[in-house]
Amino acid sequence: MIVTDSIKKGDDFVDGPAIAHDVAVSGRDAERLVATAERDGNVRVIFAARYYVTEYTAKDGTTRVQHNVRADQIGVSFRGQGVHVPRKKQQPSE
């Protein structure tokens, strides 16, 4: 995910630098997201997540910053796109 924040300069707002975030989705949510993308093409998603920053030393000796996002909840946004959402087959135990 790439984010560009607006920064207030005087009375105006300007675009800040683009910051890339690594977003991790795992387990069944990841499987369902991949299946949806394979069926419907690239999809816009929304998510709730935990965010943290880590510093590391690159091979050239410089200190770098990595922005990490671990998705707790993920869903499909319907803004500007259509996707097919199949109804889950109900199991007898549900």
User: What are the per-10-residue average pLDDT scores of the chain (94 residues)?
Assistant: 85 88 87 88 86 93 90 86 74 60
Give the pLDDT score at 43: 83
Strand partners, 9: 12
pTM: 0.56
Give the pLDDT score at 93: 62
Q: Which of 68, 87, 72, 88 has its CA nearest to residue 30?
A: 72
CA angle, 27 as apex, 3 and 18 as ends, to 5°? 10
Give the pLDDT score at 75: 86
Give the pLDDT score at 17: 87
By DSSP bridging, strand 2-9 and strand 12-24 are antiparallel
CA angle, 69 as apex, 47 and 83 as ends, to 5°? 30
